[in-house]
Amino acid sequence: MKVVRAQTTGIISSLETPYGIIYAALLLGEIPTFKELLGGAIILLTAFYSTVLSKKKISQQRGHVSGP
């Protein structure tokens, strides 16, 4: 891989927190609090939204408009 976009790097690094919560729950038996679960969900939803928005912009730039 020669080039990694800044957005991709940012998404991957922001997912470190939810992955940490999951690993702590599975490996250490730590039960996450509601605030931790909510924070992880917000991060995951933001990463998903950003990815979808980015793909939509790229397809529009290439002339492949999808959806209304």
Residue 64 confidence (pLDDT) = 58
Residue 68 confidence (pLDDT) = 56
Residue 21 confidence (pLDDT) = 82
Residue 67 confidence (pLDDT) = 54
Instruction: Quote the pTM value.
Output: 0.57
Contacts of 7-16 spanning 24+ positions with Cβ under 8 A: 7/50, 7/54, 11/47, 11/50, 11/51, 14/43, 14/46, 14/47, 15/43, 15/44, 15/47
pLDDT digit string (tens) for 15-65? Answer: 887 888 888 889 999 998 999 889 888 988 888 888 788 777 777 777 655
pLDDT digit string (tens) for 3-19? Answer: 777 777 777 787 887 88
